[in-house]
A and B are shown apart, each in its own frame.
Chain A
Amino acid sequence: MTTISEIKQQIKDSSARTVVENTLKLAKDNDSYHALLNLTEERALKLADEVDAGKITGKLAGVPFVVKDNFLAFGAPTTAASKMLENFDAPLQATAVEKLEAEGAICIGKANLDAFAHGGSTENSAFGPTKNAYDTTRVAGGSSGGSAVITALNVVPFALGSDTGGSIRQPASFNGVVGIKPTYGTVSRFGVVAMASSTDCIGLFATNAADTELVLSIMAGKDERDMTTLPNFFEIKPQAKPNQKIGVIKEFMAEGVNEEVKAAVNDYIEKLKANGHTVEEVSLPMTEYALAIYYILVPAELSSNLARYDGIRYGHRAEGIKTLAELYGKTRDEGFVTENKRRIMIGSYVLSSGYFDAYYLQAQKVRTLLINQFNKLFEQYDMLIGPVSPTTAFKIGENINDPVKMYLMDIMTVPVSLAGLPAISVPCGKDKSGLTIGVQLMGPRCSDADLLALAREMESK
Protein backbone atom coordinates (compact mmCIF):
# COMPACT_ATOMS: atom_id res chain seq x y z
CA MET A 1 0.00 0.00 0.00
CA THR A 2 1.05 3.59 -0.56
CA THR A 3 3.26 5.06 2.15
CA ILE A 4 4.43 8.60 2.80
CA SER A 5 8.08 7.65 2.32
CA GLU A 6 7.32 6.13 -1.09
CA ILE A 7 5.52 9.31 -2.14
CA LYS A 8 8.41 11.43 -0.93
CA GLN A 9 10.78 9.30 -2.99
CA GLN A 10 8.56 9.76 -6.06
CA ILE A 11 8.63 13.52 -5.53
CA LYS A 12 12.41 13.41 -5.35
CA ASP A 13 12.63 11.27 -8.50
CA SER A 14 10.13 13.35 -10.51
CA SER A 15 8.40 16.40 -9.04
CA ALA A 16 5.60 17.35 -6.68
CA ARG A 17 3.59 18.44 -9.72
CA THR A 18 3.92 15.00 -11.32
CA VAL A 19 2.91 13.27 -8.09
CA VAL A 20 -0.08 15.56 -7.54
CA GLU A 21 -1.16 15.19 -11.18
CA ASN A 22 -0.96 11.41 -10.89
CA THR A 23 -2.90 11.51 -7.63
CA LEU A 24 -5.65 13.63 -9.17
CA LYS A 25 -5.85 11.26 -12.13
CA LEU A 26 -6.06 8.26 -9.81
CA ALA A 27 -8.82 9.99 -7.84
CA LYS A 28 -10.79 10.54 -11.07
CA ASP A 29 -10.20 6.94 -12.20
CA ASN A 30 -11.76 5.79 -8.91
CA ASP A 31 -14.74 8.12 -9.20
CA SER A 32 -17.22 5.21 -9.17
CA TYR A 33 -16.56 4.63 -5.45
CA HIS A 34 -17.85 8.16 -4.75
CA ALA A 35 -15.25 8.61 -2.04
CA LEU A 36 -14.69 12.28 -2.90
CA LEU A 37 -17.25 15.05 -3.24
CA ASN A 38 -14.94 17.62 -4.81
CA LEU A 39 -11.34 17.84 -5.95
CA THR A 40 -9.25 20.88 -5.05
CA GLU A 41 -7.33 20.51 -8.30
CA GLU A 42 -6.34 24.07 -9.15
CA ARG A 43 -5.10 24.92 -5.68
CA ALA A 44 -3.30 21.56 -5.30
CA LEU A 45 -1.37 22.05 -8.54
CA LYS A 46 -0.43 25.60 -7.58
CA LEU A 47 0.93 24.38 -4.24
CA ALA A 48 2.80 21.55 -5.99
CA ASP A 49 4.53 24.11 -8.24
CA GLU A 50 5.51 26.07 -5.15
CA VAL A 51 7.02 22.92 -3.63
CA ASP A 52 8.97 22.31 -6.85
CA ALA A 53 10.14 25.93 -6.83
CA GLY A 54 11.45 25.47 -3.29
CA LYS A 55 9.01 28.02 -1.86
CA ILE A 56 7.29 25.40 0.30
CA THR A 57 9.35 22.95 2.36
CA GLY A 58 8.64 20.68 5.32
CA LYS A 59 8.27 17.10 6.51
CA LEU A 60 5.46 16.45 4.04
CA ALA A 61 6.49 18.74 1.17
CA GLY A 62 4.37 17.79 -1.83
CA VAL A 63 2.65 14.81 -0.16
CA PRO A 64 -1.02 14.68 -1.21
CA PHE A 65 -3.82 14.04 1.25
CA VAL A 66 -7.60 14.27 1.52
CA VAL A 67 -9.82 15.88 4.15
CA LYS A 68 -13.22 14.72 5.28
CA ASP A 69 -15.58 17.38 3.99
CA ASN A 70 -16.43 18.65 7.46
CA PHE A 71 -13.00 20.32 7.70
CA LEU A 72 -12.93 23.91 6.51
CA ALA A 73 -10.40 23.85 3.69
CA PHE A 74 -9.77 26.03 0.67
CA GLY A 75 -10.07 25.01 -2.95
CA ALA A 76 -13.64 23.62 -2.98
CA PRO A 77 -16.81 24.09 -0.93
CA THR A 78 -16.99 22.62 2.59
CA THR A 79 -20.32 20.81 2.39
CA ALA A 80 -20.43 18.46 5.40
CA ALA A 81 -22.14 16.29 2.74
CA SER A 82 -25.30 18.35 3.26
CA LYS A 83 -27.60 20.54 1.18
CA MET A 84 -27.28 23.06 4.00
CA LEU A 85 -23.64 23.76 3.15
CA GLU A 86 -23.61 22.55 -0.46
CA ASN A 87 -22.08 25.81 -1.71
CA PHE A 88 -20.32 26.95 1.44
CA ASP A 89 -16.95 28.47 0.64
CA ALA A 90 -14.83 28.41 3.82
CA PRO A 91 -13.38 31.80 4.76
CA LEU A 92 -10.55 30.14 6.70
CA GLN A 93 -9.03 26.69 7.16
CA ALA A 94 -9.16 24.23 10.04
CA THR A 95 -6.09 24.33 12.31
CA ALA A 96 -5.32 20.69 11.44
CA VAL A 97 -5.25 21.54 7.74
CA GLU A 98 -3.14 24.66 8.34
CA LYS A 99 -0.60 22.64 10.33
CA LEU A 100 -0.28 20.03 7.58
CA GLU A 101 0.06 22.74 4.93
CA ALA A 102 2.76 24.37 7.02
CA GLU A 103 4.72 21.12 6.57
CA GLY A 104 4.09 21.15 2.82
CA ALA A 105 1.28 18.58 2.57
CA ILE A 106 -1.17 19.22 -0.28
CA CYS A 107 -4.92 18.65 0.05
CA ILE A 108 -6.24 17.25 -3.24
CA GLY A 109 -9.89 16.73 -2.39
CA LYS A 110 -12.79 16.59 0.04
CA ALA A 111 -14.10 13.22 1.14
CA ASN A 112 -17.71 12.09 1.44
CA LEU A 113 -19.32 11.51 4.85
CA ASP A 114 -22.70 11.02 6.44
CA ALA A 115 -24.27 14.49 6.40
CA PHE A 116 -22.87 16.42 9.38
CA ALA A 117 -21.08 13.18 10.34
CA HIS A 118 -24.34 11.61 11.55
CA GLY A 119 -24.12 7.95 10.70
CA GLY A 120 -22.01 4.85 10.44
CA SER A 121 -22.18 3.99 6.75
CA THR A 122 -21.86 7.20 4.66
CA GLU A 123 -25.34 6.39 3.35
CA ASN A 124 -26.64 9.56 5.02
CA SER A 125 -24.63 11.77 2.66
CA ALA A 126 -26.97 14.16 0.84
CA PHE A 127 -24.94 13.33 -2.29
CA GLY A 128 -25.14 9.53 -2.21
CA PRO A 129 -23.17 6.79 -0.45
CA THR A 130 -19.50 5.91 -0.76
CA LYS A 131 -18.81 2.32 -1.77
CA ASN A 132 -16.59 -0.07 0.12
CA ALA A 133 -13.06 -0.42 -1.26
CA TYR A 134 -13.33 -4.23 -1.27
CA ASP A 135 -16.93 -4.74 -2.40
CA THR A 136 -18.87 -1.98 -4.12
CA THR A 137 -22.23 -3.43 -3.07
CA ARG A 138 -21.26 -2.77 0.55
CA VAL A 139 -20.95 0.34 2.68
CA ALA A 140 -17.77 2.27 3.28
CA GLY A 141 -18.62 2.57 6.95
CA GLY A 142 -18.88 5.98 8.47
CA SER A 143 -19.14 8.65 9.08
CA SER A 144 -15.65 9.22 7.61
CA GLY A 145 -16.29 6.66 4.85
CA GLY A 146 -14.85 8.65 1.95
CA SER A 147 -11.54 9.26 3.77
CA ALA A 148 -11.18 5.55 4.58
CA VAL A 149 -11.95 4.38 1.04
CA ILE A 150 -9.67 6.90 -0.70
CA THR A 151 -6.81 5.73 1.55
CA ALA A 152 -7.62 2.05 0.99
CA LEU A 153 -7.64 2.62 -2.78
CA ASN A 154 -4.06 3.94 -2.49
CA VAL A 155 -5.01 7.28 -4.00
CA VAL A 156 -3.44 9.16 -1.08
CA PRO A 157 -1.16 7.94 1.72
CA PHE A 158 -3.35 9.51 4.41
CA ALA A 159 -6.70 11.23 4.90
CA LEU A 160 -8.22 13.21 7.74
CA GLY A 161 -11.37 12.23 9.55
CA SER A 162 -13.35 13.01 12.66
CA ASP A 163 -14.50 10.46 15.23
CA THR A 164 -17.33 11.22 17.65
CA GLY A 165 -18.36 7.63 18.39
CA GLY A 166 -16.39 5.49 15.95
CA SER A 167 -16.44 7.49 12.73
CA ILE A 168 -12.76 6.86 12.01
CA ARG A 169 -12.26 3.44 13.58
CA GLN A 170 -15.24 1.68 12.02
CA PRO A 171 -14.59 2.73 8.39
CA ALA A 172 -10.89 1.94 8.95
CA SER A 173 -11.98 -1.56 9.96
CA PHE A 174 -14.34 -1.86 6.97
CA ASN A 175 -11.64 -0.85 4.47
CA GLY A 176 -8.46 -2.42 5.85
CA VAL A 177 -6.53 0.71 6.82
CA VAL A 178 -5.17 2.11 10.08
CA GLY A 179 -7.38 4.68 11.82
CA ILE A 180 -6.83 6.61 15.03
CA LYS A 181 -9.15 8.45 17.34
CA PRO A 182 -6.67 10.21 19.60
CA THR A 183 -7.16 11.17 23.24
CA TYR A 184 -9.87 13.84 23.51
CA GLY A 185 -8.15 17.21 23.08
CA THR A 186 -5.07 15.99 21.19
CA VAL A 187 -5.83 17.78 17.91
CA SER A 188 -7.56 21.13 17.56
CA ARG A 189 -11.12 21.05 16.28
CA PHE A 190 -11.06 24.67 15.25
CA GLY A 191 -12.53 24.89 11.76
CA VAL A 192 -14.22 21.49 11.85
CA VAL A 193 -18.03 21.35 11.71
CA ALA A 194 -19.06 20.61 15.28
CA MET A 195 -21.19 17.59 16.12
CA ALA A 196 -21.00 16.56 19.80
CA SER A 197 -18.46 18.76 21.52
CA SER A 198 -17.74 16.48 24.48
CA THR A 199 -16.64 13.56 22.27
CA ASP A 200 -15.65 15.06 18.86
CA CYS A 201 -12.04 14.17 18.01
CA ILE A 202 -9.87 14.79 14.96
CA GLY A 203 -7.80 11.90 13.67
CA LEU A 204 -6.71 10.22 10.49
CA PHE A 205 -6.44 7.18 8.24
CA ALA A 206 -3.17 5.87 6.86
CA THR A 207 -1.89 2.62 5.42
CA ASN A 208 0.49 1.92 8.30
CA ALA A 209 1.23 2.90 11.89
CA ALA A 210 4.41 4.90 11.17
CA ASP A 211 2.62 7.25 8.77
CA THR A 212 -0.19 7.65 11.30
CA GLU A 213 2.37 8.64 13.94
CA LEU A 214 4.06 11.15 11.65
CA VAL A 215 0.84 12.91 10.66
CA LEU A 216 -0.55 12.91 14.19
CA SER A 217 2.71 14.39 15.52
CA ILE A 218 2.22 17.31 13.11
CA MET A 219 -1.44 17.91 13.95
CA ALA A 220 -1.27 17.47 17.74
CA GLY A 221 -0.95 20.30 20.21
CA LYS A 222 -2.52 23.24 21.93
CA ASP A 223 -4.53 25.70 19.86
CA GLU A 224 -5.65 28.97 21.40
CA ARG A 225 -8.73 28.77 19.20
CA ASP A 226 -9.89 25.45 20.70
CA MET A 227 -9.92 25.73 24.49
CA THR A 228 -10.28 21.95 24.89
CA THR A 229 -6.90 21.18 23.30
CA LEU A 230 -4.26 19.67 25.57
CA PRO A 231 -0.64 20.81 25.70
CA ASN A 232 1.24 18.66 23.21
CA PHE A 233 2.04 15.29 24.78
CA PHE A 234 2.34 13.19 21.65
CA GLU A 235 5.84 11.91 21.08
CA ILE A 236 6.60 8.98 18.79
CA LYS A 237 8.03 6.02 20.70
CA PRO A 238 11.03 4.37 19.01
CA GLN A 239 9.89 1.00 20.35
CA ALA A 240 6.79 -0.48 21.89
CA LYS A 241 6.98 -1.20 25.59
CA PRO A 242 7.97 -4.87 26.03
CA ASN A 243 5.90 -7.40 28.02
CA GLN A 244 2.72 -5.36 28.13
CA LYS A 245 -0.32 -6.49 30.04
CA ILE A 246 -3.34 -6.30 27.76
CA GLY A 247 -6.97 -6.94 28.66
CA VAL A 248 -9.37 -8.38 26.11
CA ILE A 249 -12.82 -7.02 26.90
CA LYS A 250 -15.09 -10.05 27.16
CA GLU A 251 -18.25 -8.03 26.45
CA PHE A 252 -16.69 -7.16 23.07
CA MET A 253 -16.28 -10.85 22.23
CA ALA A 254 -19.77 -11.89 23.27
CA GLU A 255 -22.70 -13.34 21.38
CA GLY A 256 -23.81 -11.17 18.49
CA VAL A 257 -20.26 -10.48 17.38
CA ASN A 258 -19.52 -12.23 14.10
CA GLU A 259 -17.45 -15.41 14.55
CA GLU A 260 -15.02 -14.51 11.78
CA VAL A 261 -14.42 -11.13 13.40
CA LYS A 262 -13.71 -12.83 16.73
CA ALA A 263 -11.37 -15.33 15.06
CA ALA A 264 -9.34 -12.55 13.40
CA VAL A 265 -9.09 -10.64 16.69
CA ASN A 266 -8.01 -13.85 18.45
CA ASP A 267 -5.29 -14.36 15.82
CA TYR A 268 -3.97 -10.88 16.59
CA ILE A 269 -4.08 -11.70 20.32
CA GLU A 270 -2.04 -14.86 19.70
CA LYS A 271 0.50 -12.76 17.81
CA LEU A 272 0.72 -10.37 20.75
CA LYS A 273 1.33 -13.29 23.10
CA ALA A 274 3.96 -14.73 20.78
CA ASN A 275 5.74 -11.39 21.07
CA GLY A 276 5.99 -11.47 24.82
CA HIS A 277 2.83 -9.62 25.80
CA THR A 278 0.33 -10.99 28.29
CA VAL A 279 -3.32 -10.98 27.26
CA GLU A 280 -6.06 -11.74 29.78
CA GLU A 281 -9.82 -11.58 29.67
CA VAL A 282 -11.32 -8.59 31.51
CA SER A 283 -14.82 -7.27 32.01
CA LEU A 284 -16.28 -3.86 31.20
CA PRO A 285 -19.86 -4.40 32.38
CA MET A 286 -20.95 -0.87 31.43
CA THR A 287 -20.51 -1.82 27.75
CA GLU A 288 -24.18 -2.76 27.84
CA TYR A 289 -25.17 0.82 28.64
CA ALA A 290 -22.59 2.76 26.63
CA LEU A 291 -24.72 3.01 23.52
CA ALA A 292 -27.71 4.33 25.45
CA ILE A 293 -25.50 6.97 27.10
CA TYR A 294 -24.12 7.91 23.71
CA TYR A 295 -27.49 8.21 21.99
CA ILE A 296 -28.69 10.57 24.70
CA LEU A 297 -25.63 12.78 25.08
CA VAL A 298 -24.63 13.07 21.44
CA PRO A 299 -28.08 14.10 20.15
CA ALA A 300 -28.34 16.56 23.06
CA GLU A 301 -25.04 18.19 22.16
CA LEU A 302 -25.55 18.14 18.41
CA SER A 303 -29.05 19.59 18.65
CA SER A 304 -27.41 22.64 20.21
CA ASN A 305 -24.47 22.72 17.80
CA LEU A 306 -26.74 22.48 14.78
CA ALA A 307 -28.97 25.32 15.94
CA ARG A 308 -26.56 27.64 14.11
CA TYR A 309 -27.80 26.41 10.70
CA ASP A 310 -30.68 28.80 10.41
CA GLY A 311 -30.38 30.22 6.90
CA ILE A 312 -29.37 33.64 8.15
CA ARG A 313 -25.64 34.20 7.96
CA TYR A 314 -24.41 31.48 5.62
CA GLY A 315 -25.44 28.24 3.98
CA HIS A 316 -28.77 27.31 2.46
CA ARG A 317 -31.81 29.59 2.80
CA ALA A 318 -35.28 28.41 1.72
CA GLU A 319 -36.98 30.43 -1.04
CA GLY A 320 -40.36 32.18 -1.04
CA ILE A 321 -40.47 32.75 2.71
CA LYS A 322 -42.69 35.29 4.47
CA THR A 323 -41.78 35.12 8.16
CA LEU A 324 -38.65 34.48 10.17
CA ALA A 325 -40.07 31.35 11.84
CA GLU A 326 -40.95 29.96 8.44
CA LEU A 327 -37.45 30.74 7.21
CA TYR A 328 -35.85 28.73 10.03
CA GLY A 329 -38.24 25.80 9.71
CA LYS A 330 -38.15 25.43 5.93
CA THR A 331 -34.43 26.07 5.65
CA ARG A 332 -33.68 23.38 8.20
CA ASP A 333 -36.19 20.95 6.72
CA GLU A 334 -34.55 21.33 3.29
CA GLY A 335 -30.94 21.50 4.50
CA PHE A 336 -30.88 18.46 6.78
CA VAL A 337 -31.25 14.78 5.89
CA THR A 338 -33.64 12.56 7.87
CA GLU A 339 -30.91 11.27 10.20
CA ASN A 340 -29.96 14.85 11.11
CA LYS A 341 -33.60 15.52 11.96
CA ARG A 342 -33.94 12.36 14.04
CA ARG A 343 -30.91 13.24 16.10
CA ILE A 344 -31.84 16.90 16.54
CA MET A 345 -35.32 15.90 17.70
CA ILE A 346 -33.97 13.27 20.11
CA GLY A 347 -31.71 15.99 21.46
CA SER A 348 -34.64 18.33 21.91
CA TYR A 349 -36.52 15.53 23.65
CA VAL A 350 -33.85 14.56 26.19
CA LEU A 351 -33.13 18.19 27.01
CA SER A 352 -36.74 19.28 27.38
CA SER A 353 -38.10 20.15 30.79
CA GLY A 354 -39.49 17.15 32.62
CA TYR A 355 -37.16 14.74 30.80
CA PHE A 356 -33.78 16.39 31.45
CA ASP A 357 -33.08 14.57 34.74
CA ALA A 358 -34.31 11.17 33.55
CA TYR A 359 -32.28 11.19 30.34
CA TYR A 360 -29.52 13.78 30.04
CA LEU A 361 -28.47 13.96 33.69
CA GLN A 362 -28.85 10.21 34.19
CA ALA A 363 -26.69 9.57 31.10
CA GLN A 364 -23.94 11.88 32.42
CA LYS A 365 -24.00 9.96 35.71
CA VAL A 366 -23.81 6.57 34.02
CA ARG A 367 -20.97 8.00 31.95
CA THR A 368 -19.09 8.51 35.22
CA LEU A 369 -19.66 4.84 36.10
CA LEU A 370 -18.29 3.80 32.70
CA ILE A 371 -15.22 6.00 33.11
CA ASN A 372 -14.63 4.55 36.59
CA GLN A 373 -14.63 1.04 35.13
CA PHE A 374 -12.08 2.04 32.50
CA ASN A 375 -9.88 3.70 35.14
CA LYS A 376 -9.97 0.59 37.25
CA LEU A 377 -8.91 -1.61 34.33
CA PHE A 378 -6.04 0.72 33.49
CA GLU A 379 -4.70 0.36 37.03
CA GLN A 380 -3.89 -3.21 36.04
CA TYR A 381 -3.54 -3.21 32.27
CA ASP A 382 -1.44 -1.19 29.82
CA MET A 383 -4.14 -1.34 27.21
CA LEU A 384 -7.37 -3.05 26.22
CA ILE A 385 -8.23 -4.93 23.05
CA GLY A 386 -11.33 -6.04 21.17
CA PRO A 387 -12.98 -5.84 17.78
CA VAL A 388 -13.91 -2.47 16.25
CA SER A 389 -17.26 -3.52 14.85
CA PRO A 390 -19.43 -6.58 15.43
CA THR A 391 -19.46 -7.30 11.68
CA THR A 392 -17.57 -6.65 8.48
CA ALA A 393 -18.98 -4.10 6.01
CA PHE A 394 -22.72 -4.61 5.54
CA LYS A 395 -24.72 -4.21 2.32
CA ILE A 396 -25.71 -0.77 1.15
CA GLY A 397 -29.34 -0.34 2.22
CA GLU A 398 -29.26 -3.20 4.73
CA ASN A 399 -29.60 -1.13 7.92
CA ILE A 400 -30.66 2.25 6.63
CA ASN A 401 -34.33 1.95 7.55
CA ASP A 402 -33.72 0.80 11.10
CA PRO A 403 -31.85 3.49 13.07
CA VAL A 404 -31.55 1.43 16.25
CA LYS A 405 -30.01 -1.48 14.33
CA MET A 406 -27.59 0.97 12.70
CA TYR A 407 -26.71 2.48 16.09
CA LEU A 408 -25.98 -0.98 17.51
CA MET A 409 -23.06 -1.23 15.08
CA ASP A 410 -21.31 1.41 17.25
CA ILE A 411 -21.47 -0.67 20.42
CA MET A 412 -17.70 -1.22 20.67
CA THR A 413 -16.53 2.19 19.49
CA VAL A 414 -18.61 4.51 21.69
CA PRO A 415 -17.27 3.44 25.12
CA VAL A 416 -13.82 5.02 24.68
CA SER A 417 -15.39 8.08 23.05
CA LEU A 418 -17.49 8.74 26.14
CA ALA A 419 -14.39 8.42 28.30
CA GLY A 420 -12.17 10.57 26.04
CA LEU A 421 -9.63 7.76 25.61
CA PRO A 422 -7.43 7.04 22.60
CA ALA A 423 -8.13 4.05 20.37
CA ILE A 424 -6.87 2.76 17.06
CA SER A 425 -8.22 0.37 14.49
CA VAL A 426 -5.64 -1.87 12.89
CA PRO A 427 -6.23 -4.38 10.07
CA CYS A 428 -6.09 -7.94 11.45
CA GLY A 429 -7.50 -10.14 8.70
CA LYS A 430 -10.34 -10.77 6.30
CA ASP A 431 -13.53 -12.80 6.36
CA LYS A 432 -14.21 -15.54 3.81
CA SER A 433 -15.74 -13.01 1.39
CA GLY A 434 -12.53 -10.98 1.46
CA LEU A 435 -13.94 -8.18 3.62
CA THR A 436 -11.48 -6.60 6.01
CA ILE A 437 -11.57 -6.85 9.81
CA GLY A 438 -10.06 -4.39 12.27
CA VAL A 439 -8.83 -4.92 15.81
CA GLN A 440 -9.19 -2.10 18.30
CA LEU A 441 -6.43 -1.14 20.73
CA MET A 442 -7.59 1.18 23.52
CA GLY A 443 -5.41 2.88 26.10
CA PRO A 444 -5.52 5.29 29.01
CA ARG A 445 -5.52 9.04 28.35
CA CYS A 446 -2.48 10.25 26.40
CA SER A 447 -1.23 6.72 25.63
CA ASP A 448 -1.70 7.35 21.90
CA ALA A 449 1.98 6.89 21.09
CA ASP A 450 2.07 3.57 22.97
CA LEU A 451 -0.90 2.21 21.00
CA LEU A 452 0.71 3.20 17.70
CA ALA A 453 4.12 1.83 18.70
CA LEU A 454 2.57 -1.54 19.49
CA ALA A 455 0.65 -1.53 16.20
CA ARG A 456 3.89 -0.70 14.37
CA GLU A 457 5.74 -3.52 16.12
CA MET A 458 2.99 -5.99 15.20
CA GLU A 459 2.96 -4.96 11.52
CA SER A 460 6.39 -6.48 11.03
CA LYS A 461 5.42 -9.79 12.68
Chain B
Amino acid sequence: MYLMTQITRDDVLHLAQLSSLDLNDSEIDGLQTDLGNIIGYVDKLGELDTTGVEPTYQVTGLKNIWRDDTIINYGVTREELLARAPETTDFQVKVPKVL
Protein backbone atom coordinates (compact mmCIF):
# COMPACT_ATOMS: atom_id res chain seq x y z
CA MET B 1 0.00 0.00 0.00
CA TYR B 2 1.46 3.36 -0.98
CA LEU B 3 0.04 6.41 0.70
CA MET B 4 0.24 9.82 -0.90
CA THR B 5 0.39 11.91 2.17
CA GLN B 6 -0.77 15.43 2.64
CA ILE B 7 -0.72 16.85 6.13
CA THR B 8 -3.34 19.55 6.59
CA ARG B 9 -3.50 22.18 9.29
CA ASP B 10 -6.37 20.22 10.83
CA ASP B 11 -4.18 17.10 10.87
CA VAL B 12 -1.54 19.01 12.79
CA LEU B 13 -4.11 20.18 15.32
CA HIS B 14 -5.51 16.67 15.65
CA LEU B 15 -2.05 15.17 16.16
CA ALA B 16 -1.23 17.86 18.71
CA GLN B 17 -4.38 16.94 20.58
CA LEU B 18 -3.52 13.22 20.47
CA SER B 19 -0.08 14.12 21.77
CA SER B 20 -1.32 16.46 24.54
CA LEU B 21 0.52 19.44 23.09
CA ASP B 22 -1.05 22.92 23.22
CA LEU B 23 0.90 24.34 20.30
CA ASN B 24 1.46 28.04 19.81
CA ASP B 25 -0.04 29.40 16.61
CA SER B 26 3.45 30.34 15.48
CA GLU B 27 4.56 26.69 15.56
CA ILE B 28 1.70 25.17 13.60
CA ASP B 29 2.71 26.24 10.07
CA GLY B 30 6.28 25.03 10.51
CA LEU B 31 5.14 21.70 11.90
CA GLN B 32 2.68 21.24 9.05
CA THR B 33 5.54 21.54 6.55
CA ASP B 34 7.94 19.39 8.58
CA LEU B 35 5.48 16.60 9.30
CA GLY B 36 4.43 16.52 5.66
CA ASN B 37 8.05 16.21 4.56
CA ILE B 38 8.88 13.52 7.12
CA ILE B 39 5.81 11.44 6.36
CA GLY B 40 6.48 11.96 2.67
CA TYR B 41 9.96 10.51 3.18
CA VAL B 42 8.95 7.48 5.23
CA ASP B 43 6.15 6.69 2.75
CA LYS B 44 8.83 4.98 0.62
CA LEU B 45 8.44 1.80 2.71
CA GLY B 46 5.11 1.34 0.93
CA GLU B 47 7.07 0.34 -2.21
CA LEU B 48 8.20 -2.91 -0.62
CA ASP B 49 6.28 -6.16 -0.76
CA THR B 50 6.31 -7.64 2.73
CA THR B 51 3.74 -10.36 2.19
CA GLY B 52 4.48 -13.22 4.56
CA VAL B 53 7.22 -11.34 6.45
CA GLU B 54 7.01 -11.47 10.24
CA PRO B 55 7.44 -8.13 12.04
CA THR B 56 10.39 -7.64 14.43
CA TYR B 57 9.31 -5.91 17.61
CA GLN B 58 12.42 -6.51 19.67
CA VAL B 59 16.00 -7.55 19.07
CA THR B 60 17.15 -8.89 22.43
CA GLY B 61 17.10 -12.51 21.33
CA LEU B 62 15.63 -13.14 24.79
CA LYS B 63 12.47 -15.17 25.35
CA ASN B 64 9.93 -14.51 28.07
CA ILE B 65 11.68 -14.10 31.37
CA TRP B 66 9.90 -14.80 34.60
CA ARG B 67 10.86 -13.52 37.97
CA ASP B 68 9.42 -13.96 41.43
CA ASP B 69 6.67 -11.49 42.18
CA THR B 70 8.60 -9.78 44.92
CA ILE B 71 9.07 -6.10 45.66
CA ILE B 72 12.48 -4.71 44.72
CA ASN B 73 13.54 -1.95 47.10
CA TYR B 74 15.10 0.87 45.07
CA GLY B 75 16.10 2.69 48.23
CA VAL B 76 13.86 5.66 47.47
CA THR B 77 11.22 6.76 49.96
CA ARG B 78 7.73 8.08 49.32
CA GLU B 79 8.81 11.39 50.88
CA GLU B 80 11.71 11.69 48.44
CA LEU B 81 9.43 11.06 45.47
CA LEU B 82 6.70 13.42 46.67
CA ALA B 83 9.33 16.11 47.19
CA ARG B 84 9.78 16.11 43.40
CA ALA B 85 6.14 16.72 42.58
CA PRO B 86 5.30 20.31 41.53
CA GLU B 87 2.44 20.49 44.05
CA THR B 88 1.42 18.27 46.95
CA THR B 89 -1.18 18.28 49.67
CA ASP B 90 -1.80 15.89 52.55
CA PHE B 91 1.09 13.67 51.46
CA GLN B 92 -0.34 13.31 47.95
CA VAL B 93 0.28 14.81 44.52
CA LYS B 94 -2.11 17.66 43.80
CA VAL B 95 -3.63 18.27 40.34
CA PRO B 96 -6.22 20.72 38.98
CA LYS B 97 -9.88 19.72 38.73
CA VAL B 98 -10.48 17.03 36.13
CA LEU B 99 -14.06 18.03 35.27
Contact = CB atoms under 8 A, between A and B. Distances in A.
A99 interface: no
A332 B72 CA distance: 31
B60 A230 contact: yes
B36 to A, nearest CB: 10
B41 A295 contact: yes
Interface stretch (A55-63, A272-280, A322-330): A322-330
A289 B45 contact: yes
A257 B84 CA distance: 47
Interface stretch (A203-211, A342-350, A386-394): A342-350
Contact of A184 (B16, B19, B57, B60): B60
Interface residues of A, number: 74
Contact of A332 (B11, B20, B24, B54): B20
Given A311-B86, A323-B97, A345-B31, A367 B38 contact: no
Interface string B40-51: 011111101010
Interface in A312-354: 312-317, 321-330, 332-333, 336, 338, 341-342, 344-350, 352
A239 interface: no
Nearest to A322: B96
A367 B42 contact: no
A364 B21 contact: no
B34 A342 contact: yes
Contact of A292 (B45, B72, B95): B45
A369 to B, nearest CB: 6
A236 interface: no
A310 B93 contact: no
Given A361-B55, A365-B53, A333 B42 contact: no
A89 interface: yes
A429 interface: no
Nearest to A228: B60
Given A184-B59, A329-B22, A342 B65 contact: no
Given A92-B74, A345-B15, A404 B41 contact: yes
Contacts of B20: 307, 310, 325, 328-329, 332
A324 B19 contact: no
Contact of B93 (A293, A295, A312, A342): A312
A313 B43 CA distance: 37
B56 interface: yes
B62 A185 contact: yes
B21 A404 contact: no
A352 B18 contact: yes
Kindly list the 9 A-B residue pairs having the minimum CB-CB distance in the complex, ordered from nearest: A420-B59, A329-B22, A364-B55, A317-B86, A365-B50, A314-B84, A328-B20, A348-B18, A345-B15
Interface of A: 88-89, 91-92, 184-185, 198-199, 224-225, 227-228, 230, 289, 291-293, 295-296, 303, 307, 310-317, 321-330, 332-333, 336, 338, 341-342, 344-350, 352, 355, 357-359, 361-369, 371, 403-404, 407, 418-420, 445
20 contacts: A88-B84, A185-B62, A230-B60, A295-B42, A296-B42, A311-B86, A312-B86, A314-B81, A317-B87, A329-B20, A330-B22, A333-B23, A341-B31, A342-B35, A349-B11, A349-B39, A350-B42, A359-B45, A365-B55, A367-B56
Given A92-B75, A295-B42, 10 more contacts: A91-B80, A292-B44, A325-B20, A327-B95, A332-B19, A341-B27, A345-B12, A365-B50, A366-B45, A404-B38
